[in-house]
Structure 1
């Protein structure tokens, strides 16, 4: 955490159906009983923004938690994460709501987010017909994220559209249940189609200190070039919570105005890791410990336990174990510490919801941490279920998964040996009549995910780990 602390309607065939019609009750009653659901429905209607898109964006930013009007690390407020000096003031101008209400009132904040998103859509020239298609809002969503690069803007928008496709089932701090039903939506990426896919195959191991990480450099204004461990011994690993989203934190560390950074950022949903500062250099994350430590940020907010998933714990623990082994750091709570334990700090992260017992078990191996921290389901994402698998000798297993909500298949190869060490691994998926798609390289934990629409289509699938290879015939045709 790098700033002062704290951070239904359904689209069917392009038509916005009020939650009142779906539930068979008056809209006013639904709104009174479920104020946030009502706020999303009202904002979607008022500004002609697809309701499910609005909910998915808010969930990606905050898990629908306004955090009592306190800002995120990057200065964003409320459920829709309206950012000061960017979207917050613009929302005030459009909605005529005071900034104070936009910061602390959920309904005002949601309306403000919808208003800004609609303004971006208007600037992009979306017609009334186009606005009914959630896929056409991609560029507006990318712009809403305030990313400092096209690559991170794509990462931000792809996160929102992944949620749209996979569905959302969330409980608000007030106890409401908010859902988005999964559906297949093809995003119109426009110019962002040419941006680097940061969720694609990881960069070569030589580009990062940790083989499974994606490399996205922080601004040179946000860290100090050094020559550790020659200049300073590395003997601590500091655990942080971002007080913001994964994409938002990456963008913030790329902003030269931030004056903060960490070496790594870990995503909540699947444990994806991005490295932003080389370990030899001093990231600005922990005051007096900057010289001696490696900093790991974890997506989420300290006051909301929903961000701390098992996939995040396992992935982060594998990273911590890798760092500790390379520098000879003891795997104990004296040397692996929270930001709140750094001398002289006024920070409280990772907070009371962080499960240190589970985390340290994964780090030391007493809780299964020596096994692969990733599963086929975590690699492919929410909604995917394993329907077939094949052993790759003792080196790994290749899995075929299917998502009934959107008709997509996914293939992932999960390593069982040489875990944490880059070695030749691959996964492929071929839908009958289409070109085979392959993810192949030197990977530390898994290859994939390789996804393709395959409803009512035969598929070939397979992969490799070590010297073992599996190739299926065309099968699973219905």
Structure 2
């Protein structure tokens, strides 16, 4: 009898361990992705990466995004209607039921693949889905950036809401027509350019026509690609000057600063608007890379227009009278953000102090959270200067570099383990283009040949 009790107890312990293991490896949402992927022959991790890029797997209690998308899979009205037909599921359920929403998203994605002629063999290869994912995004003008965001999530891997995707770098088949966003016609060096619809802003000639004295911080209630797509839609009747990506701080300008973006009602005329990818209810969107990149943009705008770097001039959408929005919300870390705006990284050195008297910043690039590389110019002697300023591991010697290459001449690099900065690397480049960049931690940047003459 005693032996029987011991054996039974052992079985119960084993059963509990197995249940715990099963619980750790699965969840209702993970099961939903498994079923949807299997049912519609879509790569499971790619389907989950699409949802993560759109919503971080947050259905937002059935509330739509700013661009009208519902649920984890961000089903916009046209896609919602298509999903309802393909899955024979009522639209109301697709909006509010996570499992139904995932199934609907898988059905729509598979329909896009079928329209492109993908056969069973092609569907097994995640690299072959690039065009279908772009089509799922709904706008040809942002199809590339939409698909790139999904493959970036797949490459990095993630864990969210009980769903786990291991990092799996995939080189997507982008096709011959692939064109990245342009890096021209921007007011902020390093930003990409993708014009908002002319139906969504007012052409002007600021600051001659109106002073620019405020910078307004927004959270988009949507993804980076979705926000860009929405501002390009003539029906939106909204826009912002800039959009900032969560994962790495990439910035896209959509309205020139001289023009009036429609982002904050009565305060549009005198302000610059900056949208940030994400949702106010989910702090996971507000990465250090996003804070640093946005703060560098805000600092640049403030310096160019003589705006004091204070909270009375750098405000949230919710703080502007006459507006009913609540962004950037309680999860936005204003203390951290303003410390970055005012240069409070803790590094006692600045690009100007390292390069010397007479040098002014003309370009910069964030190196993730580890630092920023700067290009400076001295009009008095015609010299360029590059310096990388560290933001982390200050006072500790870590791998950091800065380089400057004048077109037609060998590259000069300062590389090593430094406590605060790499550089300065100086060179004259009369009537020549320069390539510049550097590294801090695991992040690197190399510019094209630019700033010619």
Using the TM superposition, give the Cα deviation of residue 75 of structure 1 relative to its aligned residue in structure 2, in angstroms.
Answer: 0.2
Check if 1:161 corresponds to 2:141. no
- CA separation of 1:282/1:90 partners in 2, compared to 1, >3 Å: closer, same or farther? same
Q: Counterpart of 1:334 in 2: which secondary structure?
A: coil
Contact 1:31 1:39 in 2 (8 A): no
Unaligned regions of 5+ residues in structure 2, if any? 1-16, 352-363, 372-397, 405-411, 427-432, 439-444
Correspondence for 2:90: 98
Correspondence for 1:19: none
- CA separation of 1:341/1:363 partners in 2, compared to 1, >3 Å: closer, same or farther? same
Residues 131-170 of structure 1 mapped to structure 2, 5 A cutoff: 131-149=123-141, 152-170=142-160
Q: Counterpart of 2:266 in 1: which secondary structure?
A: helix
Using the TM superposition, give the Cα deviation of residue 147 of structure 1 relative to its aligned residue in structure 2, in angstroms.
Answer: 1.6
Residues 230-269 of structure 1 mapped to structure 2, 5 A cutoff: 230-269=208-247
Aligned with 2:196 (options 214, 218, 239): 218
* Distance in 2, Cα, partners of 1:120 & 1:214: 28
CA deviation string 1:182-221 (max 9, x = no partner): 223221223xx423212xxx624xx111111111110000
How many residue pairs get matched? 376
Aligned with 1:39 (options 7, 11, 32): 32
Check if 1:59 corresponds to 2:63. no
CA deviation string 1:360-415 (max 9, x = no partner): 11111124496777226779xxxxxxx9765549x98669xxxxxxxxxxxxx998
- CA separation of 1:44/1:25 partners in 2, compared to 1, >3 Å: closer, same or farther? farther
Correspondence for 1:129: 121
Contact 1:78 1:106 in 2 (8 A): yes
Correspondence for 2:435: 425
Residues 352-367 of structure 1 mapped to structure 2, 5 A cutoff: 352-367=330-345
Correspondence for 1:194: 177
* Distance in 2, Cα, partners of 1:119 & 1:231: 50
* Distance in 1, Cα, partners of 2:446 & 2:224: 26
- Tell me which stretches of 4 or more aligned residues in structure 1 moved more than 3 Å: 29-33, 367-373, 376-379, 387-393, 395-399, 413-418, 423-428
Using the TM superposition, give the Cα deviation of residue 179 of structure 1 relative to its aligned residue in structure 2, in angstroms.
Answer: 1.7
CA deviation string 1:97-120 (max 9, x = no partner): 111110011000000000000111
Using the TM superposition, give the Cα deviation of residue 128 of structure 1 relative to its aligned residue in structure 2, in angstroms.
Answer: 1.1
* Distance in 2, Cα, partners of 1:317 & 1:115: 40
* Distance in 2, Cα, partners of 1:338 & 1:414: 35
* Distance in 2, Cα, partners of 1:396 & 1:243: 42
Contact 2:201 2:255 in 1 (8 A): yes
* Distance in 1, Cα, partners of 2:64 & 2:422: 39
Using the TM superposition, give the Cα deviation of residue 248 of structure 1 relative to its aligned residue in structure 2, in angstroms.
Answer: 0.8
- CA separation of 1:229/1:166 partners in 2, compared to 1, >3 Å: closer, same or farther? same
Check if 1:82 corresponds to 2:109. no
Correspondence for 1:476: none
* Distance in 1, Cα, partners of 2:284 & 2:312: 27
- CA separation of 1:388/1:246 partners in 2, compared to 1, >3 Å: closer, same or farther? same
* Distance in 2, Cα, partners of 1:338 & 1:264: 15
Contact 2:242 2:253 in 1 (8 A): yes
Correspondence for 1:203: 183
Check if 1:440 corresponds to 2:448. yes
User: TM-score normalised to the size of structure 1?
Assistant: 0.72
Correspondence for 2:170: 185
Using the TM superposition, give the Cα deviation of residue 126 of structure 1 relative to its aligned residue in structure 2, in angstroms.
Answer: 1.1
* Distance in 2, Cα, partners of 1:390 & 1:42: 48
- CA separation of 1:345/1:162 partners in 2, compared to 1, >3 Å: closer, same or farther? same
Q: Counterpart of 1:441 in 2: which secondary structure?
A: coil
Give the structure with higher Rg (CA).
Answer: 2
* Distance in 2, Cα, partners of 1:216 & 1:76: 21
Contact 1:390 1:398 in 2 (8 A): yes
Using the TM superposition, give the Cα deviation of residue 231 of structure 1 relative to its aligned residue in structure 2, in angstroms.
Answer: 1.2
Contact 2:302 2:309 in 1 (8 A): yes
Contact 2:155 2:170 in 1 (8 A): yes
Residues 292-441 of structure 1 mapped to structure 2, 5 A cutoff: 292-368=270-346, 374-375=366-367, 390=401, 392=403, 424-426=434-436, 439-441=447-449
- CA separation of 1:135/1:68 partners in 2, compared to 1, >3 Å: closer, same or farther? same
Using the TM superposition, give the Cα deviation of residue 135 of structure 1 relative to its aligned residue in structure 2, in angstroms.
Answer: 1.0
* Distance in 2, Cα, partners of 1:245 & 1:290: 23
Check if 1:271 corresponds to 2:249. yes
Correspondence for 1:456: none
Q: Counterpart of 1:295 in 2: which secondary structure?
A: strand
Contact 1:376 1:414 in 2 (8 A): no
Contact 1:263 1:279 in 2 (8 A): yes
